[in-house]
Structures are given as C-alpha cells and as structure tokens.
Amino acid sequence: MPSILPIQAKLLNWYALAKRDLPWRTTDDPYKKLVAEIMLQQTQVSRVVSKYQEFVGRFPSFEVLAKASRAEVIQMWSSLGYNIRAVHLHIIAKRIVAEHEGILPSDPQILQTFRGVGPYTVAALSSFAFGKNTAVVDTNIRRVLTRLTGRIIPFRPKELEAVADSFLPVGNTSDWNQALMDLGAAVCLPSPKCEICPLEVHCASALLFKKCDGAVARQRPAYTSPPQSVFKGSRRFFRGRIIEALRLLPNGLTLDQLHDLVHPDSQLPYFLVIVRGLEADGLLNVFKKSGYDIGEATVQLP
C-alpha cells in the first residue's frame, strides 16, 4: 500500500487547480445534488451539464417538481435516456414533500428506500450533499485505486470499499472523492497519461506502464469494464424511441400508429411487451376500450 498522506496532499492540490467546472458542484442544495446524481447514472457528464441546468431551472425544488405532471417531467428529461429515472425522481419528490416536509433526509437508511437510489447514489449524496466522511467509488475511482495500489486481479466490492475508505482524508472528503473522479476522467484514462499525473511517483502501476509497450501496458494492471451490450435494436433502444415519439406527439397515438412509427419490423406480441413494460414503469398510459386492441388503444405520456 503506498504512503497515503503525500497522495492526499498532491491530489487535493492538483484538484484545486484542475477541477472540472460542473454546475452541481457550485451549490449546497441537496435537491440539486440529487437531480445531478440521478442524471449522472449511466450518462456521460458532458450530456448532463446542459440538461441539468434546464431541469433545475424549470423545477428548482422538490415542491415544484412534485406539483408538475409526470408527462412534463418526462418531456424535460428528453435526450438523457433511461427515462425511468425521470419517473423515479418525480416519485421521490412527491414522497419527500409528503413525508419529509420537502427536505431530503441525510440518513442513509432512509435514502436507500427511495426508488432509483442505490448504494452508489447514497454514498455520493452522503459525501457531496451532506459532507459526511463517506468514500464514493465510481468507474473512474475504481480504475485509479486499482492502478495506484498495483492490483492486477480486480478488487471484490468489499475489498474495494475498504481500500477507498483507507485513502479518505480527515474532513474535506467531498473534494477528495471528486478529485479522484476528475483524475480518472482526465488523466488516469483507460490509456493513462502517466507523464502528467500528480500521483505518478506514488503509483504502483506507473513503472509497469513505462516498461511495457503498446496494448500490454495499457491493459495491466487496470480495471476494465465489461463489454457493453449492443444498444441499437435492443429493448431499451425501442423503449427510448417510443418515449421520444410520444414527446413529439403529446396528443398520443394508437398502438397501430406507434408500432408503424417506432418498430414496424417487430412482431406485435414483442412490441406489446415493450409497451406494457413502459406502462408498468409509469412512463406512458394506454387508454383502451377492450384489451390492447391495436387499432383502438391510444398511447400517451402520463
């Protein structure tokens, strides 16, 4: 294990000069921190920045968001994908207004009961919204810590959690977590830029990267994420296309029209499975006279 105090000092000094200018870092409002964390789930930072500003401009608080219609919230989520997150955020806002007087609770045990808020988001909110001494581990941080400690076999989750905890400075853990994120996003990339890394002299992997050439140096030791499944043509792809069609046509479509517009090559039963899934998730409403009659049932945003 490398010496921790010099690493903490160097990385925090680097972060003070090189940190990314992100709008959710300039606010202390837990509501806005939550919006950012939900948006950042499985979505690149560059895509989130403008949408975050637009969203919190329209819905500046839990109270305003809770009063909005589900359809408007989904409309405002356009371009981010994974539209179920908009539904989760809307449900959370309603619950916080009803049960917590419009104030996001800081208790992790309560936070983890909200739909769409998993262990990572709980940790991020604890650190970034409430200043708790909590380690946050995303893909970038996992890669940095794996390389820094010279780990060749990927850490098990509990092992990684222990390592992340061991590096936490006393106080200022929000800046520390974000500094690790920024280092992984700008320097400790899948193909690392060791020559400009503030932690190069402390990194157990840097020497190996220098000694090895080509692909070997860029792959070991380092965390590599599992390959992504094919998106185009997947169920998630067509879920997104259905919601986008309904955003553009708020008065709705018949199932027949929606099928022809979005997924004409699919068998009807498969298409209806996708529609039913979206309906169960609260992302659309199906108004039907009898069953899912493809010519008569109308589909709209909620």
What confidence tens digit (pLDDT) does each residue in 81-111 have? 888 999 999 999 999 999 999 999 999 999 9
- Tell me the per-residue pLDDT of 152-181, one tens digit each, with 9 for 90 and over: 778 888 999 999 999 999 888 999 999 999
Residues 214 and 255 in one domain: no
Which position has the higher pLDDT, 237 or 231? 237
Q: What is the pLDDT of residue 216?
A: 46
CA angle 120, 46, 92 (to 5 degrees): 40
**272 domain residue, yes or no:** yes
Q: Which among 62-66, 146-150, 231-235 has the top mean pLDDT? A: 62-66
Which of these three, 128, 149, 164, is where a domain ends?
128
Which of these three, 103, 128, 153, is where a domain ends?
128
**284 domain residue, yes or no:** yes
Answer whether residue 212 shows pLDDT above 70: no
CATH number of the domain within which 75 lies: 1.10.340.30
Cα within 13 Å of Cα(108), Cβ side: 14
Residues 111 and 52 in one domain: yes
Q: What is the pLDDT of residue 257?
A: 80
User: Is residue 30 very low, low, confident or very high in pLDDT (cuts 50, 70, 90)?
Assistant: very high
Side-by-side strand order, sheet with 298-300: 253-254, 298-300, 285-287
Answer whether residue 204 shows pLDDT above 50: yes
Name the token pair of 184: 């992984």
Name the token pair of 206: 């840097």
**88 domain residue, yes or no:** yes
Answer whether residue 209 shows pLDDT above 50: yes
**226 domain residue, yes or no:** no
Going by C-beta distance under 8 Å and a sequence separation of 6 or more, which residues neighbour residue 83? Answer: 74, 77, 239, 240, 243, 283
pTM: 0.81
Q: What is the pLDDT of residue 176?
A: 96
Q: What is the mean pLDDT of the chain?
A: 87
Residues 121 and 159 in one domain: no
Residues 124 and 143 in one domain: no
Residues 145 and 181 in one domain: yes
Residues 105 and 80 in one domain: yes
Residues 118 and 206 in one domain: no
Q: What is the pLDDT of residue 1?
A: 61
Residues 206 and 106 in one domain: no
Residues 152 and 121 in one domain: no
**115 domain residue, yes or no:** yes
Residues 152 and 67 in one domain: no
Residue range 198-221: mean pLDDT, rounded: 69
**122 domain residue, yes or no:** yes
CATH number of the domain within which 274 lies: 1.10.10.10
Residues 123 and 93 in one domain: yes
- Tell me the per-residue pLDDT of 112-153, one tens digit each, with 9 for 90 and over: 999 999 999 999 999 999 999 999 999 999 999 999 998 877
Q: What is the pLDDT of residue 55?
A: 97
The catalytic residue positions are 37
Which of these three, 193, 219, 245, is where a domain ends?
219
Residues 146 and 183 in one domain: yes
Q: What is the pLDDT of residue 217?
A: 45
Of 123-137, 206-220, 232-246, the one with minimum mean pLDDT is 206-220
Structurally, how many domains does the chain consist of? 3
Which position has the higher pLDDT, 198 or 218? 198
Q: What is the pLDDT of residue 231?
A: 63
% of the chain beyond a pLDDT of 90: 56
Which structural domain, as residue segments, surrounds residue 205?
139-219
